[in-house]
Structure 1
Amino acid sequence: MELATIEQIAFIYYHFLAIFGVPANFLTIVILSQGGCGLSKGITLYLVGMTTADLLVIIFNVIIYYLLGYYLPFSPPDYTSIYSINEVINYVVIDCSVWLTVAFTVDRFVLVCCQRFRQKYCTEKTAAVIIVTMCVVFCFKNIPLYFAFEPVYIINTVEWGVQFKATYFTLPGWVTYDWLDTVLNPFLPYFLILFLNTLTVRHIVLVSRTRRALQGQHNLENSDDPEMQSRRKSIILLFSISGAFIVLWMPYVVFFLISRITDSHYEADQYSDPLLIADYTGDMFQLLSSCTNTCIYALAQTKFREKLRNALMYPFLLIIKYVK
């Protein structure tokens, strides 16, 4: 099968995501679940939830949807019924991944900016309830999509592939559903994260100025104030995760806005069309966000970095011990 240039780039790129993303996310889940990384149980739950959702995105959206479809065309996963289920799962795990990032951002915003409320909200129980609720809500929210698809081909009475039914774009019920889906992802989460981070930065600046004035210090970074040290660690983790999300989702959001506002479309086989290239690029950056959290944790958390190093060295130590 001959691929166009943009398809070749995406093909190689998705192999990299699969090879790196699956073991990295799995190892991160194991390390965080064991605890001892210097993080509260509530934060750990959010991070485990986010990483699990990212792992599922790599499995269903990259490996099954893109790579398996290339290596095994017209195989059982391409049956319309199975393909439709995979599409629904793709939507569910992406929604969960995005909204758990929002939930984590809200949790850090409350911790930093809402002193009276944070003791009740920033707890392990609250995090567990939010994670479970989000997973259930997005499962039910995406179930109707299964009935929005129809086969692309029918060969010997066997239905292959999926595409949206024409009525999905015309019936009022489906049009409303599509706009609701659009608002929930990517519009609302993207701008919520931007908004909450802006408020958090503003609060930090104001508090820093106040504490500097009260302590009579000219350089806050040299302060041994434990309150500010604790906040600084939380903020580094928050801005690293949400900042990476904002940057990596930006091409997708920009393409989405331009295509919807201008009502622009492209033919699926016109691989030189700038709109198609922009769509492919947005998808690639968006899926990269499912592989970055391990690197972020390693850079931002000393104890996580130590555990990760020990986990990577463990197989080699076993080999050396066995050889001796």
Structure 2
Amino acid sequence: MAASDLLVGITDPFLRQTIQIHFPYSLLNITPICATTEALVFAITAVSVWLTVAFTFDRFVAICCEKLKTRYCTEKTAAVIIGAVIVLGCLENVPQWFKYESANEFDNLTWDCSVKSTYYTSSAWVAYRVMHRVLNPCIPFFLILLLNVLTVRRIVAASRVRRGLRGRSNGENYKDPEMENRRKSVVLLFSITGTFILLWAAQAIFYIFTGIAKLRVDYTPTGIYYITRVTSTFLQLLSTCTNTCIYVLTQSKFRAELIHAVKFPVSAIRSLVRS
């Protein structure tokens, strides 16, 4: 999940925003490559969102479903779920490539990406837009909120029972390792899902409101549409940075793997030089 968020942070602000806007004659602005970049950004964003849902469901199973936990919470299942989310996220965003056409032609090459007019008028494209917004982020919002409520309810009930039993058996209060583990799980769960909901809320409300009101696009820098769109996009991109930071701050194993990944190229180059 942290890797997919990192890819969103690389592809969207860097490839999509910085290079294509400030370097208009780079190879990334050739229409097929531009359309591929746009579709890739949508696909990676969808994968990032649904991996957050998968993580929330995994914590729900681990805490609330004791019988299912032993079969579901395994490395093999995690690999299958991650692979399925990546494949489905890419397939769902394949049509994004076909909604663009060239905006300019120079030296027998088509440059820049312009959204086709049929994207706003064709019933098929309208249906796709609605489906895309339902899948990302409306359903994830609902699932994350529902799973969090169920998880918290189970933790609160189990904590009361466990605290009562241990209080009766020991006659005193002291730190319970099981309760500490549950507390850490809850902190991690709500840190990730809470920041996701807060930072994606502006984007979701923006698209729902503009879809209902059917507002005309106003790209002037002082227009309300432009300011709201840029702000919501900024917050949505910021949400992709939080998961990586949360993992670095809370998970020692993740920090160790991250340090290993950073050192690996240096170690490989050093080995090649020595050989």
Fold conserved between structures, TM > 0.5: yes
Name which of 75, 85, 88 aligns with 1:137. 88
SS at match of 1:153: strand
* Counterpart check, 1:278 vs 2:228: yes
SS at match of 1:163: strand
C-alpha displacement of 1:176: 1.7
- Where do 1:15-94 residues align within 5 Å? 50-94=1-45
Aligned counterpart, 1:96: 47
> Which stretch has the larger CA shift, 236-245 or 95-104?
236-245
SS at match of 2:217: coil
Aligned counterpart, 2:56: 105
* Counterpart check, 1:235 vs 2:171: no
C-alpha displacement of 1:229: 2.5
* Counterpart check, 1:193 vs 2:117: no
Looking at structure 1, the residues matched to 113 and 254 of structure 2 have their Cα atoms a distance apart, in angstroms, of 42
5+ residue gaps, structure 1, are 1-49, 314-324
Q: 1:176 to 1:310 in 2, by over 3 A?
A: closer
Q: Is the 8 A contact 1:248 1:288 kept in 2?
A: yes
Superimposed CA distance per residue, residues 97-135 of structure 1 (whole angstroms, 9 cap, x where no aligned partner): 111111001000111111111111111111000001111
C-alpha displacement of 1:260: 1.6
Looking at structure 2, the residues matched to 168 and 123 of structure 1 have their Cα atoms a distance apart, in angstroms, of 42
C-alpha displacement of 1:285: 0.8
TM-score by length of 1: 0.73
5+ residue gaps, structure 2, are 264-275
C-alpha displacement of 1:302: 5.0
C-alpha displacement of 1:198: 1.4
C-alpha displacement of 1:158: 3.0
Looking at structure 2, the residues matched to 257 and 172 of structure 1 have their Cα atoms a distance apart, in angstroms, of 18
Q: Is the 8 A contact 1:236 1:300 kept in 2?
A: no
Q: Is the 8 A contact 1:53 1:96 kept in 2?
A: yes
C-alpha displacement of 1:187: 0.7
Q: Is the 8 A contact 1:88 1:143 kept in 2?
A: yes
- Where do 1:107-122 residues align within 5 Å? 107-122=58-73
SS at match of 2:18: helix
SS at match of 1:290: helix
Q: Is the 8 A contact 2:6 2:244 kept in 1?
A: no
Name which of 239, 243, 262 aligns with 1:293. 243
Looking at structure 2, the residues matched to 310 and 157 of structure 1 have their Cα atoms a distance apart, in angstroms, of 47
Supply the RMSD in Å over aligned alpha carbons.
Answer: 2.4
TM-score by length of 2: 0.86
SS at match of 1:231: helix
Looking at structure 1, the residues matched to 37 and 260 of structure 2 have their Cα atoms a distance apart, in angstroms, of 36
Q: 1:173 to 1:223 in 2, by over 3 A?
A: farther
Q: Structure 2: which amino acid aligns with 1:294?
A: T
Q: Structure 2: which amino acid aligns with 1:137?
A: L
Superimposed CA distance per residue, residues 188-243 of structure 1 (whole angstroms, 9 cap, x where no aligned partner): 112211221111111111222222233337xxxx5443332222222221111111
SS at match of 2:98: helix
Superimposed CA distance per residue, residues 63-113 of structure 1 (whole angstroms, 9 cap, x where no aligned partner): 111111233113221111110011111111101111111100100011111
Q: 1:310 to 1:58 in 2, by over 3 A?
A: closer
Q: Structure 2: which amino acid aligns with 1:175?
A: V
